[in-house]
Chains A and B, each alone.
Chain A
Amino acid sequence: MDLLEYQGKRFLADYGVPVPKGGVAESAQEAVAWAEGIGYPVAVKAQVHIGGRGKAGGIVVAANPTEVRSAAERILGMDIRGQVVKCLLIEKGSEIEAEYYAGFTLDRSAGGYLGMLSAQGGVDIEAVAETAPEAISRILVNPVEGLTEATIASWVRFARIDDRATHPTIRILSDLYAAFVHGDADLIEINPLVLTSAGEVLALDAKVTLDSNSVFRHPNYQDFDATQPRDDREAAAHSRGLQYVGLDGTVGVIANGAGLAMSTVDVIAQAGGAAANFLDIGGAAEVETMASALEVINNDPRVKVIFINIFGGIVQGDVVARGILAALDRVKLRSPIVLRLDGTNAAKGRAMIGNRLSERLVMADSMPDGAMRAVEIAGRT
């Protein structure tokens, strides 16, 4: 799960990483109240999950209450590439002498953790990574060996950041690593990590992605669920416990298993259509799950046909059939269904559905056949 900047900074602050003084505001009035308490100048920052908000006008430095109010009024409700700004971070302005970049991420191919540090942080870090990759000093951490203070010290020297910033940065990287490991983060990026004219080193931004599988160790992470970026369809599916990703096409997809669901989306595209969603009903294709899945897809106005692609493994074909029949009785569907059913007890399942087949419920012989039929129906309506 992705954290908003203010959530990420609180997360880092819990592990000892210094961040500017700040507060979260949902109205211009709150923004001014925070600014008065913090002292001017302040940065008024849009809280959204995507980068490039500064360039989109989502960050403004304000020198007095009037400027804070007008900035807050303008940024709240602003649409930044599809995300509407619902809250602001009001933060003490810093006089910046230098901007660095620091981060940790999972390195899947190396089987460990990748630490990155650069003396050339700031908005152009991606260009730096492209054109001067040597300006980013990387270390690979073995998860069993961990990262020692001595290794961090030589890493920081190697990155050639300002002498004045060296010691605080060693401290920060040590805390950042603790946050990454003990906080079960998949990714932490601080860009920029700044050296202020007062000689402090601070995390001026924070991008944090936490491992949703680690919630059992960190029950408070459940709180972040409410601020995950989801469209209405995704929110509805999520509240029903379904693995759903919204897409742009007209063929609704229900499949069992993430791989098969992904593959179904692909095969629909190969048949000349486009899927409206990815939906994995998982191993428990019970009546309830199937009905919920059909409801979510039925509420998506762009859907013209629903392709249910089931390969029974643990999931049994007759249980799937019962689920579909029960769901049909419960949900009034706008769109016809194309069903492909193979694997465990598929014959039994097909037989159960046999006398309900119609133009609104079509049986396909195989996955490609099902995709073709679904795309054809979507094209007709």
Chain B
Amino acid sequence: MSIWLDENSRVVYQGLTGRAGRFHALRNRAYGTQVVAGTNPSKAGTSVEGIPVYATVGDAVEATGADVSCLFVPAPYVKGAVMEAVTGGVSLVVVITEGVPAKDEAWLVAKLERDHPEVRMIGPNCPGIISPQKANVGITAPDIARPGGPVGLVSRSGTLTYQALYELKQSDIGVTTCVGIGGDPFPGTSFKDCLAAFEADPDTRAVMMIGEIGGSAEEEAAVFIAEHMTKPVVAYIAGITAPPGKKMGHAGAIVSGGKGTAAAKIEALSAAGVRVGESPSEAGRLMVEVVSEPGG
């Protein structure tokens, strides 16, 4: 099995007619994803390589039964586009766009939590979600993900997600689902959400978690792991040597006021029984140990 996304998922692309939207929607379709629609209010009735374009997500859902939306719209329009997807009737919204203001993200997260708890948002500023051999929604290079499990992967960083998938593939370890939750301060889906879903997924036997400096999402994940996870977790945290007060690329990756350090995160995770690798390669080796253990 996989979490949140599989071969039955039907995906609409908001921003299909743009350059990035078109490229990735077609690549996702070539991977086997059911790409059923795109939206663009001024191009309704047209199509992109056979993918019908509708004015709104609501229209696309009605016509095609889409249940997932993937956003490639520019940052200023993300807030409105997510609400269009949510009210249009999809249950999963994957936001690839980077550069979304924190206020828009905070509002969206609070709005979904209060009024649309049945809808999951992944991102913004994330590579998306891939359930190898079943479906890929987003920009993850599909050939580096080995299908078949038993590892669930969740990551705050795009390229480190690829690096982690690669480390696993090199060791012949497959992945059930890989979720990139994004590097922004208010992600729609947290480590905790992913850990809970992997814990409940019968085909996932272990979880790899890639974190980085900033915020306290990793510490909260550690609390969740200690209290609720029976499956082993291997982690890697980037930014051990990052200087305080400097934003390391991602809007969320900053050590400020002594908070959000890699050391504190590693300590919290280790205390929760998580095996923490010092580098992506070491995390890969730890995962090899975990999956080869009896009952692992």
Chain A residues proximal to chain B, CB less than 8 Å: 106, 108-109, 111-113, 142-145, 181, 184, 186, 211, 213-214, 216-217, 243, 245, 247, 255-263, 265-267, 269-270, 275, 278, 280, 311-314, 342-344, 366-368
Find the residue from A184, A255, A267, A342 having the highest chain B CB count within 10 A.
Answer: A267
A112 and B157 within 8 A (CB): no
Which residues in B have their C-beta under 8 angstroms from that of A106?
Answer: 102, 106, 185-186
> A260 vs B167: C-alpha distance in the bound complex, in angstroms?
13
- Among the listed A144, A211, A314, A367, which residue makes an inter-chain contact with B141, where contact means beta carbons less than 8 Å apart? A314
- Among the listed B114, B139, B240, which residue makes an inter-chain contact with A314, where contact means beta carbons less than 8 Å apart? B139
- What are the 6 closest A-B residue pairs judged by CB atoms, nearest first? A259-B157, A258-B249, A257-B159, A259-B160, A260-B159, A214-B101
> A366 vs B280: C-alpha distance in the bound complex, in angstroms?
11
- Among the listed A186, A313, A367, which residue makes an inter-chain contact with B140, where contact means beta carbons less than 8 Å apart? A313
Which residues in B have their C-beta under 8 angstroms from that of A275?
Answer: 241
B201 within 8 A of A: no
Closest chain B residue, CB of each to CB of A264:
B238
Find the residue from B101, B144, B156 having the highest chain A CB count within 10 A.
Answer: B101
Closest chain B residue, CB of each to CB of A258:
B249
B217 and A108 within 8 A (CB): yes
Chain B residues proximal to chain A, CB less than 8 Å: 75-76, 99-103, 106-107, 109-111, 113-114, 127, 139-141, 143-144, 155-163, 166, 183, 185-186, 210, 212-213, 215-217, 220, 236, 238-243, 246-253, 262, 278-281
Which residues in A have their C-beta under 8 angstroms from that of B252?
Answer: 108
Q: A142-B110, A213-B251 are in contact. List 9 more A-B contacts (CB 8 A).
A: A112-B106, A145-B110, A211-B103, A245-B243, A247-B243, A257-B159, A266-B238, A266-B279, A314-B141
Which residues in B have their C-beta under 8 angstroms from that of A186?
Answer: 102
Which residues in B have their C-beta under 8 angstroms from that of A142?
Answer: 110, 114
> A344 vs B109: C-alpha distance in the bound complex, in angstroms?
34
Which residues in B have their C-beta under 8 angstroms from that of A108?
Answer: 185-186, 215-217, 252
A111 and B110 within 8 A (CB): yes
Which residues in B have their C-beta under 8 angstroms from that of A266?
Answer: 238-241, 262, 278-279
- Among the listed A181, A216, A260, A368, which residue makes an inter-chain contact with B103, where contact means beta carbons less than 8 Å apart? A181
Closest chain B residue, CB of each to CB of A257:
B159
A280 and B106 within 8 A (CB): no
> A64 vs B162: C-alpha distance in the bound complex, in angstroms?
64
Closest chain B residue, CB of each to CB of A180:
B103
A259 and B210 within 8 A (CB): yes
A262 and B100 within 8 A (CB): no
A144 and B111 within 8 A (CB): yes
B114 and A313 within 8 A (CB): no
A184 and B240 within 8 A (CB): no
B162 and A311 within 8 A (CB): yes
A262 and B248 within 8 A (CB): yes
Which residues in A have their C-beta under 8 angstroms from that of B281?
Answer: 366-368
> A136 vs B173: C-alpha distance in the bound complex, in angstroms?
50
Which residues in B have their C-beta under 8 angstroms from that of A214?
Answer: 101-103
**20 examples of A-B residue contacts, CB within 8 angstroms:** A108-B215, A112-B110, A142-B114, A143-B110, A144-B107, A181-B103, A186-B102, A211-B101, A211-B102, A216-B75, A259-B212, A262-B238, A263-B279, A266-B239, A266-B279, A267-B279, A270-B278, A311-B163, A344-B143, A366-B281
Find the residue from B107, B139, B155 having the highest chain A CB count within 10 A.
Answer: B107
Find the residue from B139, B162, B215 having the highest chain A CB count within 10 A.
Answer: B162
Which residues in B have their C-beta under 8 angstroms from that of A267?
Answer: 279
Which residues in A have their C-beta under 8 angstroms from that of B216?
Answer: 108-109
A257 and B114 within 8 A (CB): no
B100 and A144 within 8 A (CB): no
Which residues in B have their C-beta under 8 angstroms from that of A366?
Answer: 281
Closest Cβ–Cβ distance, residue B102 to chain A (whole Å): 5
B217 and A109 within 8 A (CB): yes
Closest Cβ–Cβ distance, residue A94 to chain B (whole Å): 28
Which residues in A have their C-beta under 8 angstroms from that of B157?
Answer: 257-260, 262
> A367 vs B76: C-alpha distance in the bound complex, in angstroms?
37
